[in-house]
Copies of this chain bind each other. A is one copy, B any other.
Amino acid sequence: MTVQDAHTPASESDSPSESGKPGGAVDQNGTERSIGWHKGYVQGSRPDLQVPVRQVHLTNGKDVTLYDTSGPYTDPSIETDVRRGLAPLRENWIIGRGDTEEYAGRPVRPEDDGLKHTSPRGGLRNLDAVFPGRPRQPRRGRDGQAVTQLAYARRGDITPEMEYVAIRENVAPEVVRDEIAAGRAVLPANVNHPEIEPMIIGKRFLVKVNANIGNSAVTSSIEEEVDKMTWATKWGADTVMDLSTGRNIHTTREWVLRNSPVPIGTVPLYQALEKVDGKAEELTWDIYKDTVIEQAEQGVDYMTVHAGVLLRYVPLTARRKTGIVSRGGSIMAAWCLAHHKESFLYENFEELCDILASYDVTYSLGDGLRPGSIADANDEAQFAELRTLGELNTIAKRHNVQTMIEGPGHVPMHKIKENIDLQQEICEEAPFYTLGPLTTDVAPAYDHITSGIGAAMIAWWGTAMLCYVTPKEHLGLPDRDDVKTGVITYKIAAHAADLAKGHPGAQEWDDALSDARFEFRWEDQFNLALDPDTARAFHDETLPAEPAKTAHFCSMCGPKFCSMKISQDIRRQHGGDLVPEEIEAGMAEKSKEFAAAGNRVYLPLAE
């Protein structure tokens, strides 16, 4: 794999790129080579297919190539402007397929931004917030045909998107195509979101992490949400869900989409509920459908749809300790009971499939009845809904809609495996997308940890994407620091699972960092770390001096007690410059003498 470096080392403030410290190492080609990390690209089969990577240049002249989700923001040779949005990377690929058409699209109304119909002026007051970037018309499949990656894969095509993820995942393009065709993986890529760098979600690939953002109770501004999105992807979020529920939902989403290098997911039901002033019983299929089209035209890549919450399942939650804890689930349950009719999402599911197929919006079938406490885990309500999701998954596939299934929730460790095993069986191995699960209820303020434990385990057993949980879960809205903590915690869970699954190449990262640790290459250890900034800061707290960066010990044990130093001395003294084999031989020799001397414990040995 040949990698081209972006011209100069990245160096944005408070980002991982900060840790890219220029240094004086000279690489294989004898050219000056700066230590740290750089944005790099792997060239694909066509000029406009370049896959971004995080290139870490080590002080020992070696390079380590890591998966990169940070988008153009960490490429110093690219000038980004949130008011213009990102370049439409996939536009030519989409147009090139010739199966989509531009059209006028649905007019944006004040109520799309949660503004009362009675006060359209409210819309004007917010005009400054309207996205100023290039005007665009929405696009959809000609004659309502399915323009999904699933349809292409089944047809045997390998799209540029598929080649892109194949390079990212370091596998053959055919593997990507076949996994998508089989419904075991999804490649969320709405034709109206050409800005994304394609990624794939499936158990055969690297475990992915989703970060939720969204202004609720109108506590945060549009700018804050866009910043949270870029901040989350900078630390490794593979997708972002915009769960906004307050004012300016439509406009906030527009800004987020136009600036996002990763797929964006939403829960259309939230906005639909805003349109009926929060009165669940006033929801209708038409309002919901209109909202889905509104969001599909904007470019939302996947949508959570709680179509599995059936009227007859609601009673099953009556004995629960925490009832229904999914927002969407509780809204649909309320609607079903208010009307004593079956869910309009379930009744109109096939029509919904045709709409999503014409934009290539991926289904994320929501688990509206997921358990909200250890006591409710794996109960009848949860698994009844799962069986319905299996039925809907089959219908969605028939309509060529890419589909993943959402999972819990709160589940004690010994009940986690049953969740992934049942889901894989019932949903024909469709990608599982779980929230945690949280392995105990007793640690509010630390639920990134209670859930990170369950997330690592369920991902090892086959979950394809993990929805992060921040320290603020159950207590409040995550701020910037919470978002970072949540993403880092979940990247740890995802990578631990990649290792346990034996994902090809996953361990190279650990090995490179451990080599740096054993050889006291502190700068390399920092630059290879999931969070270089914090690793360096912690080290400097106790040993700030520059020399300490090359010291053969750290403040934990000090020089006398540094096991690695002693361990190295042993190799030097008893191996000199010998290679491991020779050291081994030499030591084995000595221990043979020991064995020959009786190898017994209480027999005094000769000096």
Chain A residues with CB under 8 Å of chain B are: 216-217, 219, 245-246, 270, 273, 278, 280, 311-312, 314-315, 317-319, 321-327, 329-331, 333-334, 337, 339-342, 346-347, 349, 372-375, 412-414, 439-446, 449-450, 452-453, 456-457, 460, 471-477, 479, 488-489, 491-493, 495-497, 499-502, 507, 509-511, 513-515, 517-518, 525-526, 528-531, 534-535, 537-539, 541-543, 554-558, 560-564, 566-571, 573-575, 580, 583-584, 587-588, 590-591, 593-595, 599, 601-602, 605, 607
Contacts and interface: CB of A to CB of B under 8 A. Distances in A.
Contacts of A537: 445
B442 A529 contact: yes
B538 A476 contact: yes
A444 B457 CA distance: 21
B590 A340 contact: yes
Contacts of A453: 452-453, 456-457, 492-493, 496
A326 to B, nearest CB: 6
Contacts of A342: 594, 601, 605
B374 A446 contact: no
29 contacts: A216-B557, A216-B558, A217-B558, A245-B557, A273-B560, A278-B560, A280-B566, A314-B591, A322-B518, A325-B567, A330-B566, A334-B566, A342-B601, A413-B496, A413-B499, A414-B460, A441-B517, A442-B529, A445-B535, A445-B537, A449-B449, A449-B452, A450-B492, A450-B496, A473-B556, A474-B517, A475-B535, A475-B554, A476-B555
Contacts of A556: 216, 472-477
B441 A513 contact: yes
Given A314-B587, A450-B492, A321 B514 contact: yes
A488 B446 contact: yes
Contact of A323 (B372, B373, B507, B518): B518
A341 B591 CA distance: 9
A557 B607 CA distance: 75
A354 to B, nearest CB: 14
Contacts of A517: 322, 372-373, 441, 474
Q: How many copies does the complex hold?
A: 2
A522 B366 CA distance: 28
B440 A499 contact: yes
A324 to B, nearest CB: 4
B514 A414 contact: no
Contacts of A602: 347
Contact of A413 (B327, B339, B340, B460): B460
A539 B476 contact: yes
A552 to B, nearest CB: 13
Contacts of A217: 555, 557-558
A571 B318 contact: yes
Given A314-B570, A318-B587, A500-B413, A555 B488 contact: no
Contacts of A341: 605, 607
Contacts of A340: 590, 593-594
Contacts of A326: 563
Contact of A583 (B318, B538, B564): B318
Of A219, A347, A580, A591, most buried by chain B (CB within 10 Å of CB) is A591
A424 to B, nearest CB: 18
A471 to B, nearest CB: 7
A561 B315 contact: no
A414 B514 CA distance: 19
B446 A492 contact: yes
Contacts of A574: 337
Contact of A216 (B246, B347, B561): B561
A477 B315 contact: no
Nearest to A501: B414
Contact of A443 (B330, B413, B531, B593): B531
Contacts of A488: 443, 446
Contact of A321 (B325, B518, B583, B605): B518
A457 B560 CA distance: 34
Contact of A325 (B456, B502, B534, B564): B564
B531 A346 contact: no
Contact of A591 (B278, B312, B331, B591): B312
Contact of A507 (B333, B375, B445, B518): B375
A591 B315 contact: yes
Interchain residue pairs A-B with the least CB separation, the first 6: A315-B587, A323-B567, A373-B514, A278-B560, A312-B591, A413-B500
Contact of A441 (B472, B477, B510): B510
Contacts of A314: 570, 587, 591
B476 A456 contact: no
Contacts of A413: 456-457, 460, 496-497, 499-500
Given A323-B571, A333-B570, A449-B449, 18 more contacts: A273-B561, A312-B595, A314-B570, A323-B563, A327-B557, A337-B587, A373-B510, A439-B496, A440-B496, A441-B511, A442-B530, A444-B513, A444-B535, A449-B452, A452-B452, A453-B493, A474-B554, A476-B543
